[in-house]
Structure 1
Amino acid sequence: MSQPSISIIIPVYNDPEGVRQTVDSLIAHTDSTAEIILVDNDSTDRTPETAAEYAEKHDHVLLVVEREIQSSYAARNTGIEHATSDLICFLDADQTVTDGWLETALETIDERDAHYLAPNVHLVEPDNPTLAGRYNTSTGFPIADFLERHHYAPTSCLFVTRELLEDVGTFDERLISGGDKEFGNRVHDTGYELHYAPEIVVHHPARNSLRALAKRSLRIGGGHCQLQQYYPDRYGRVGIPPRPSGIHGDQIRTPDTEQPNHESSRGFERILFTMLALGMTATRGIGYYKEYLRWIARRISGT
């Protein structure tokens, strides 16, 4: 295989259905000039076998394994080591792409001479959404806001050049969350422009359970504390969590309905969403202080 137009890196852990969904979508909407690298992060279920099936059937699909470090950022770095293209895209397992997504991305990167490009990640509501699923869909991925206010885009879908990676480095494998933020901030501080391309759309399934939302919030909270441990000059002193942030009122998008009492229904759902937002903010705080206590214990023990 000649040098591919792009290397698409997909880290995965214990998600065989997610791998199937994403790779099937890529094969349907992306030609074989793109290199697809599946990075199994030492899964304990059928994920490696599922990924291997695609690698055996398709010459442009490669399976590699990251066993030493349990971290999506370590898995992405392993993917980078095996990538053969000068342009790299990170995707999450369980995402799907749209027709023409890659052609549009390549054209946009070329036109803007972009080294860091974030597309529009659209959250897809489940067929039978719970309150958690509707909440997650309503808040979405405010990527334009992430880029403007916080100088990063999530690695759920992100295009970068090898030139940028050689300049600023790869992801910090120590972080359980927030590695996309730290990487984006490093890119921004180095002087690169962070580009947003809303016309490039990929789909991400919404989390449809409170447990899934809470697990994510705990991880984000722990990641905030780790960012302060490793980068206090940028993220502040350990023990003082960042300012709580939930969803803003104008981010909540409740569905329209033809029912006569639709205004009261929308209002009630907004109240529930606000309560959920407060709960997730509190859960992030719990995650932060759990990591903070581990940090204290390490300092006491000298490890």
Structure 2
Amino acid sequence: MAEPTISVIIPAYNAAAFIAEALLSVLNQTSPADEVIVVNDGSTDNTRQVAASFEPHFGGRLIIIDQANAGVAAARNAAYRRASGELVAMLDADDYYLPAFLATARRAFTLMPDIVLFFGDTEIVDANGPTGRLNSEGKPVRTLPAIEIDGLFKVRGSTFTTLLEGSYIPVCAAAVRRATALAVGLFDLSVRTSEDRDFFCRLALRGPMAFSREVMAHERIHGGNISISTHRVDLARNVLTVMRKLRRPEHACLMSDQERSALEAVYKDEFFNYVYNLSSAGWRAYVKGVAMLPADERLAALHPKHLARALAAAVGMSSND
């Protein structure tokens, strides 16, 4: 059986400092990519020039798309639509592969032709270099029920219920069946901070997934603390939007009874989390946020506990919950 073709897609915004390392890691794969697509997402530095300097090394396999800045999800979607490979491997411009990633991904899809996604582990990199910390630490991937097949692991049953709680799939070490990604509608541009979880949940409803416990890529973490209250509200709103969307009939019809029950439980938790964060942000944010909720959620959001919390936040007091 012929191995599947693979397109590597790299969204890049002001990534001149890192994209050479990303492209070099693709160039150094033991099993070469069939094509590499860089989407220059409106960069104002010399990201495009750095990427273009690699064109001679890829022998016509490097494609650069220029677009106005639209965000990482839109850049990935543009690359998916341009890609021709049976598989799409996603690499962010500031991350980089280990040499065996594409070979391992091809082997996984060849051994398990029904899977829709394969992923490996990643090691976290900070400003000082590799940290020794793994993406999988403390995450469900370490306890997923799986069948070992030639050193790789095929998840038994759906990964949907565990992904509902949060994505543990590192984008920079994931390869997706392109036809399935297109079938589920790619990344949702209306979801700004939970787009990975949303995308992987929808993929999980379409077929099994497999993984390697080996480190397949280095994932760069940038500094900066953005855990301010308004950001927490935005995060919670986006997660609730994802859960609300997954309850739609076109997705719910693909779920088992267990998956639907799990979704309802997470939806309720995330609704409470959103309203809690909203009311903690103060009265004005609370009133504005509640007004934007669908009618069936608005009444629950007006519970006296939430009202009291919003009033307390407005006057600088602390409620008891």
Report the TM range for the smaller structure's normalisation. 0.5 to 0.7
- Partner of 2:272, secondary structure, is coil
- Partner of 2:128, secondary structure, is coil
Task: Tell me the distance in 2 between the aligned counterparts of 1:109 and 1:55.
Answer: 28
Q: 1:109 to 1:230 in 2, by over 3 A?
A: closer
Shift of 1:31: 5.1
Cα deviations by residue, 1:62-113 (Å, 9 ceiling, x for unpaired) = 111232x622111100000110111111111122222222112211121122
Corresponding residue to 1:145 among 113, 128, 140 = 140
Corresponding residue to 2:236 among 224, 230, 245 = 224
Number of residues of Structure 1 aligned to a counterpart in Structure 2: 245
Whether 1:196 aligns to 2:188 is no
Task: Tell me the distance in 1 between the aligned counterparts of 2:13 and 2:226.
Answer: 19
Corresponding residue of 2:273 = 241
- Partner of 2:226, secondary structure, is helix
CA contact (8 A) 1:118 1:158 kept: yes
Name which one, 1 or 2, has greater alpha-carbon Rg: 2
Shift of 1:144: 5.6
Q: Give the partner amino acid of 1:240.
A: F
Q: Which runs of 5+ in 2 are unaligned?
A: 142-158, 248-262, 293-321
- Partner of 2:196, secondary structure, is helix
Task: Tell me the distance in 1 between the aligned counterparts of 2:15 and 2:86.
Answer: 28
Shift of 1:243: 11
Q: 1:181 to 1:60 in 2, by over 3 A?
A: same
Corresponding residue to 2:173 among 144, 153, 157 = 157
**Between structures 1 and 2, the one with greater helix share:** 1
- Partner of 1:173, secondary structure, is coil
TM-score, normalised by the number of residues in structure 2:
0.63
Percent identity for Structure 1 against Structure 2? 19
Q: Which runs of 5+ in 1 are unaligned?
A: 245-284
Shift of 1:14: 1.0
Whether 1:173 aligns to 2:204 is no
Q: 1:23 to 1:154 in 2, by over 3 A?
A: same
Q: CA RMSD in A?
A: 3.8
Shift of 1:150: 2.2
Task: Tell me the distance in 1 between the aligned counterparts of 2:45 and 2:23.
Answer: 18
Moved more, 41-50 or 215-224: 215-224
Task: Tell me the distance in 1 between the aligned counterparts of 2:228 and 2:20.
Answer: 22
